[in-house]
Amino acid sequence: MGLLARIRGDEDPKISIHQFSAAMRQVHRGRNTVAQLKTAFEMDAQAQTDMDWLVSQYTAQAVSDRVEWLEALDDILMLAETADVPTYGSDTEVQARITEINT
Check residue 103 and give its pLDDT: 59
pLDDT of residue 96: 95
Tell whether the model's pLDDT for residue 101 goes beyond 80.
yes
C-beta of residue 54 within 8 angstroms of C-beta of residue 3: yes
Instruction: With a cut of 80, say whether residue 60 has pLDDT above it.
Output: yes
Model confidence at 1: pLDDT above 70: no
From residue 30, alpha-carbon distances to 6, 23, 26 in Å are 24, 11, 6
| pLDDT band (50, 70, 90) for residue 90 | confident
What does 1-57 look like in DSSP terms, one character per residue?
A: -HHHHHHHTSSSSPPPHHHHHHHHHHHHTTSS-HHHHHHHTT--HHHHHHHHHHHHH
Give this prediction's pTM: 0.92
What is the residue extent of each domain of the chain?
2-101
pLDDT for the residue numbered 75: 96
Given a cut of 80, whether residue 102 has pLDDT beyond it is: no
Q: What's the pLDDT tens digit per position in 2-54?
A: 999 999 988 999 999 999 999 999 999 999 999 999 999 999 999 999 999 99
Amino acid 32: pLDDT? 98
